[in-house]
Amino acid sequence: MIRLTDKEFNDIVAYIKGNYGINLTNKRQLIESRMQSVLLGKGMNNFSDYFNLIKQNKSDEITAMLNKLTTNHTYFYREPAHFNFLKNTILPMQEKTNARRDIRIWSAGCSSGEEAYTAIMTMMDYFGLKRAGWDFRILATDISLKAMEAAKHGLYGTESLKDIPKAWEQRYFNKQGENLFELKDEVRNQVLFKRLNLMEPFSFRQPFDLIFCRNVMIYFDQPTKNALINKFYDVLKPGGYLFIGHSETVQRDTSKFLYVEPSVYQKGSVSICR
């Protein structure tokens, strides 16, 4: 087994946290065990050589490493309470108040796309025949190009569809053999995938009505989460919503978000005195 020296370990922890927010402080054994095959495959016998390679060839090699150390696991209709909230609260409100008939959503940390596509299906299902008058598009971003390549192909196994309503499986997918489903173009074409590191400054032309950032901040330490949540606040419209994972929280004393229900937060529509 190739071991990390203390210096190598401290260097890589600082580099990954500084650039990607991901906190690997307690993951020494995980790094050693999961990276063995990668180092051996490159004919390397120490971590310093590998880290030098990473620093030269940032985006490809680093995301391959982050893929090994974090999880891209996701599936359609994960944490359905959010899609019910979208259908039962946000969309009826948009219908009443949004004269422009456009809804902007961001899936931040989208992995292989199931979250963004589920939101599109929820909206297609809600609007039905009235859909033609509406412009709803989703920006889906991640640091993992590999996960987003899979998302763009739109091919999924049965495991990813296990929680999806049966009617949606028939309506929005073409079955391609026993265990493979192809997402229909009418859903696929509504999502724009882009590589975006959440640690970098945001620059968007228009603010969002809704941001999903679910099961992403689990890798970040508290100050990193607080800073990111404040950045999300700044790019939401007044009255816009933030959905986080059900195991995650927004600290009320460091954020301006209003608590709505577990894992759902709202940017107040009037400025709030604190």
Q: Which residues are catalytic?
A: 34, 142
Residues 226-245, interacting with ligand SAM (CB under 6 A) = 245
Measured from the CB atom, the residue of 94 and 215 that comes closer to ligand SAM is 215
SS3 content of the chain, % helix, strand, coil (to 5): 50, 20, 30
Measured from the CB atom, the residue of 262 and 268 that comes closer to ligand SAM is 262
Residues that bind ligand SAM (rule: CB under 6 A) add up to a total of 25
Measured from the CB atom, the residue of 109 and 240 that comes closer to ligand SAM is 109
The secondary element (H helix, E strand) that includes residue 182 is strand 180-183
Residues 69-98, interacting with ligand SAM (CB under 6 A) = 70-74, 78
63 within 8 A of 145, measured Cβ to Cβ: yes
Q: Residues, the chain, total?
A: 274
Note whether 59 binds ligand SAM by CB under 6 A: no
Note whether 224 binds ligand SAM by CB under 6 A: no
> CB-based contacts of 104: which residues, under 8 Å, 6+ apart?
136, 137, 139, 206, 207, 208, 209, 210
67 within 8 A of 146, measured Cβ to Cβ: yes
Measured from the CB atom, the residue of 21 and 240 that comes closer to ligand SAM is 21
| 3-state secondary structure (DSSP) of residue 34 | helix
Instruction: Among 199, 227, 258, 260, indicate the residue that binds ligand SAM (CB under 6 A).
Output: 199
| Angle between helices 58-69 and 47-56 in degrees, nearest 10 | 130
Least distance (Å) from ligand SAM to the CB of residue 56? Answer: 20
172 within 8 A of 121, measured Cβ to Cβ: yes
Q: Which residues bind ligand SAM (CB under 6 A)?
A: 20-22, 70-74, 78, 109-111, 115, 142-144, 147, 197-199, 214-216, 219, 245
